[in-house]
Amino acid sequence: MKSLWNDAEAQQYGSEIGQRVYTSRLLGSDPSLVLHGGGNTSVKLQERNLFGGEENVLYVKSSGADLATIEPQDFVALRIQHLRRLVALKSLSDTEMARELYACKRNPAAPNPSVEAILHAVLPAKYVDHTHADALLSVMNTPGGLERVGEIYGDRVVVVPYTMPGFQLARRCAELLPEHAGPQTVGVVLMHRGLFTLGDTARSSYERMIELVDLAEQYLAQEGAWHLPQVEAASRTQVSRVELASLRGNISEAAGAPIIMRTCSDDTCIAFARREDIGRIALQGAATPDHAIRTKRVPMLGRDVQEYRRAYEEYFVACSGGRNLTMHDPAPRIVLDPDIGMCALGRSARDAAIATDLYQHAINIILRSELLEKWQALSAQDMFDMEYWELQQAKLLKAGPLKVFTGEVAFVTGAASGIGRACVDSLVSRGAAVVALDLNAKITHMFELPEVLGLRCDLTDEDAVVNALDAGVSAFGGVDMLVLNAGIFPPSVRIDALATSEWNRVMRINLDSNLVLMRELHPLLKLAPRGGRVAVIGSKNVPAPGPGAAAYSASKAAMNQLARVAALEWGDDGIRVNTLHPNAVFDTGIWTEEVLQKRAAHYKMTVGEYKTHNVLRTEVTSHNVAELAAELCGPLFAKTTGAQIPVDGGNERVI
Q: Radius of gyration over alpha carbons of the chain, in Å?
A: 29
Q: Among 367, 398, 429, give the residue marking a domain's end.
A: 398
- Asked whether residue 65 falls in the same domain as residue 156, the answer is yes
Asked, for residue 517, whether it belongs to a domain, the answer is yes
- Asked whether residue 132 falls in the same domain as residue 272, the answer is no
CB atoms within 10 A of CB 518: 20
- Exposure string of 608-622, with b = 16+ CB inside 10 Å and e = fewer, is eebbbebeeeebbbb
CA dihedral of 110, 115, 118, 124, whole degrees rounded to 10:
-100
- Asked whether residue 428 falls in the same domain as residue 290, the answer is no
Q: What is the pLDDT of residues 107-138, one digit of tens each?
A: 999 998 988 999 999 999 999 999 999 999 99
Least confident of 46-50, 271-275, 612-616: 46-50
- Confidence at residue 226, expressed as pLDDT on a 0 to 100 scale: 94
Asked, for residue 639, whether it belongs to a domain, the answer is yes
Model confidence at 397, in pLDDT bands (50, 70, 90)? low
Asked, for residue 235, whether it belongs to a domain, the answer is no
Give dist(CA 291, CA 193) in Å, integer: 10
Q: Which domain holds residue 474?
A: 409-585+620-647
- Asked whether residue 414 falls in the same domain as residue 330, the answer is no
Q: What is the pTM of this model?
A: 0.91
- Asked whether residue 89 falls in the same domain as residue 193, the answer is yes
- For the chain, the domain total comes to 3
Model confidence at 400, in pLDDT bands (50, 70, 90)? low
Q: How far is CA 333 from CA 115, 245, 256, 328, in A?
A: 25, 15, 14, 11
Name the DSSP letter for residue 493: B
Q: What is the pLDDT of residues 436-476, one digit of tens each?
A: 999 999 999 999 999 999 999 999 999 999 999 999 999 99
Q: Among 348, 378, 398, give the residue marking a domain's end.
A: 398
- Asked whether residue 415 falls in the same domain as residue 393, the answer is no
User: Average pLDDT over the chain, rounded to whole?
Assistant: 93
Asked, for residue 508, whether it belongs to a domain, the answer is yes
Give dist(CA 406, CA 429) in Å, integer: 10
- Asked whether residue 308 falls in the same domain as residue 445, the answer is no
Q: Which residues pair with 130 in a beta bridge?
A: 40, 196
Query: Residues near 432 by Cβ (< 8 Å), separated by ≥ 6?
Result: 405, 406, 408, 409, 410, 451, 480, 481
Asked, for residue 118, whether it belongs to a domain, the answer is yes
Q: How far is CA 220 from CA 136, 215, 372, 508, in A?
A: 9, 9, 7, 58
Asked, for residue 521, whether it belongs to a domain, the answer is yes
- Confidence at residue 383, expressed as pLDDT on a 0 to 100 scale: 84
- Asked whether residue 384 falls in the same domain as residue 245, the answer is yes
Give dist(CA 386, CA 166) in Å, integer: 11
Q: What is the pLDDT of residues 259-316, one digit of tens each?
A: 999 999 998 999 999 999 999 999 988 888 777 777 887 899 999 999 999 998 988 8
Asked whether the predicted pLDDT for residue 103 surpasses 60, the reply is yes
Q: Give the SS3 label for residue 183.
A: coil
Asked, for residue 327, whether it belongs to a domain, the answer is yes
